[in-house]
Structure 1
Amino acid sequence: MTQTVPTPAHIVQQRYRDADPADPAHWNPVLQVLHEHRSVRRYLPDPVSDDTLRLLVSAAQSAPTSSNLQVWSVVAVRDPERKARLAAVAGDQRHILQAPVLLVWTADFARLRQLAGDRDAPLDGADYLESSYVGFIDAALAAQNAVVAAESLGLGTVYIGALRNKPEVVAAEIGLPEHVFAVFGLVVGHPDPAEDARVKPRLPQQAVLHHETYGLETQRDHVTEYEGRIAQFYAEQELSHSWTDRVLTRLASEASLNGRHTLRESLFKQGFRLR
């Protein structure tokens, strides 16, 4: 049977579930990889080679970094028992066990503090909230570069924010010193085609793209329209059909944060002063 090659218009249409897609003005393989991103939660046992891992990290290091500080590091976890313990921290997510590697991305100020110690130089600026932001943003930018690189090679990925449920446990498990904090995990592996992971539709651009000044009231109708579009996706995945209910429940209370309401204290224990 001949498979139909999706057109650029169809690929963009998947991202929005737009009933009347238009051909994009520009297109290339990078744009296709970006638009076809989907979270993969079932993996084959096939390994990810060290050569591939090095390529993903070099792609990560090609991301922007504020003032070239490079205040991030990543820990590759392959050991099944260690992955199992980290999976338990993250709510027993099975894909952490299935995939061959879990990458733990960290905001890392230990390296700069070591340099400052070697030169007996002050580093008081590292104790401020702004510097911590830089570490978290740098780690996110690097990881997203790795995601795009992995998916361009046919690999699947999914972020694991739930590692922040118990930061101290994660730090002890992967040997993080003071001034290094695990920001999130990233599962990387070969997708199981039986999962049939699909592109999740996003809010219409009219709800997120503002011109010159921010407009809140103008978003209402577009968010309402989105409810109908994503309901179709949720029905296909046999999930709850209301995006609004899902997002409001996610932030409804302290309990819904799954332990992350103590994140400030965890950061402080790990050496992040957040002045």
Structure 2
Amino acid sequence: MTQTVPTPTHLVQQRYRDPEPTEPAGWNEVLQVLHEHRSVRRYLADPVSDDTLRLLISAAQSAPTSSNLQVWSVIAVRDPDRKARLAALSGNQAHILEAPVLLVWTADFARVRQLADDRNAALDGADYLESSYVGFIDAALAAQNAVVAAESLGLGTVYLGALRNNPEDVAAELKLPPQVFAVFGLVVGRPDPTEDARVKPRLPQAAVLHHETYDLAGQREHVADYEGRIAEFYAEQQLSHSWTERVLARLGSVAGLGGRDRLRKSLENHGFHLK
């Protein structure tokens, strides 16, 4: 049986589930990987080698970092027992156990604090919200580079925001020192082809791309159009609810935060003062 190779036009159309194809202005292998991204939640037992891990991290370290501060670190977790404990702290998601490696990305000010202590130097600027933002943003930029690198090698990934449900317990499990905070997890491994993970359609560009000034009223019709398109995707995946219902269920109450309503306090407990 001959497998159909998706064309650039098809991949862009698939990302939005557009009824009519649009020819992209240009194309290359990087754009191919980006447009084929999908979350993978079922993995084979194939290991991710140390050589591959080093390549993913070098890709991560190739991401931009504010003022070259590099205030992030990552912990690679392969031990099954430790993964099981972290899975229990993250809503018992089975793919944490299945995937051969869990990468925990952290905002890390312990390294620069150590430098300041060694020189008896002040580090007052690290205690402000802006600096904490830099740590979170830099960790996200680095992780996304690793995602693209992993998927270019035929690996699958999925992010784990649920690591923030129990941040103190995660910190204890990973022996994180003060001023190192687990921002999110990322599982990496060989996708199980039986899962048949699909590309999830996104909001139309007209709902997210504004020209010169922000236009809230102009989004409404495009969001309504998206409801119909993603409803088809959810039906194919045997999932219920509309996109709007999912958004409101997630953000409509404190319960939807899964314990992350304590995040400010958890950050303070771990040395992030957020002035």
- SS class of match (1:31): helix
Q: For residues 67 and 42 of structure 1, what CA distance do their matches in structure 2 show?
A: 38
What's the % identity of the aligned pairs? Answer: 81
CA RMSD of the aligned region, Å?
A: 0.5
1:32 partner SS: helix
How many residue pairs align between the two structures?
A: 275
CA distance in 2, matches of 1:197, 1:4: 16
CA distance in structure 1 between the partners assigned to 2:245 and 2:222 by the alignment? 16
**What does residue range 204-215 of structure 1 map to in structure 2 within 5 Å?**
204-215=204-215
CA distance in 1, matches of 2:206, 2:236: 25
* SS of 2:20 mapped into structure 1: coil
Quote the residue 1:18 is aligned against.
18
1:22-171 map, 5 Å = 22-171=22-171
Tell me if structure 2 keeps the 8 A contact 1:155–1:189.
yes
| Aligned residue type for 1:154 | G
Q: TM-score, normalised by structure 2?
A: 0.99
Conserved? CA contact 1:235–1:241, under 8 Å: no
Moved over 2 A (4+): none
What is the CA deviation profile of residues 97-141 of structure 1, one whole-angstrom value per residue up to 9, with x for unaligned ones? 000000000000000000000000000000000000000000000
* Shift, 1:83, TM fit: 0.2
Matched, 1:238 2:238: yes
TM-score (norm 1): 0.99
Letter in 1 for 2:153: L
Measure how far apart 1:255 and its partner are: 1.1
Which deviations, in whole Å up to 9, do the C-alpha atoms of 1:116-171 show, x marking residues without a partner? 00000000000000000000000000000000000000000000000000000000
Unaligned runs of 5+ in 1: none
Deviation digits for residues 161-184 of structure 1, max 9, x if unmatched?
000000000000011000000000
Deviation by residue 1:57-95 (Cα, 9 ceiling, x = unmatched) = 000000000000000000000000000000001100000
Tell me, in whole angstroms, the C-alpha distance in 2 between the residues paired with 1:212 and 1:55.
Answer: 39
Q: Is the deviation greater in 20-29 or in 133-142?
A: 20-29
**Equivalent residue, structure 2, for 1:270:** 270
Letter in 1 for 2:128: Y
Which ranges of structure 2 fall in alignment gaps of 5 or more residues? Answer: none
- TM-superposed deviation, 1:22: 1.4
**1:171 counterpart letter in structure 2:** A
| 1:204–1:222 contact (8 Å) kept in structure 2 | yes
Q: Distance in 2 between matches of 1:90 and 1:163?
A: 5
- Cα deviation, residue 241, structure 1: 3.6
Give the residue type in structure 2 aligned to 1:86.
Answer: L
Per mean C-alpha deviation after superposition, the further-off stretch among 106-115 and 240-249 is 240-249
**Secondary structure in 1 aligned to 2:23?**
coil
1:173 corresponding residue in structure 2: 173
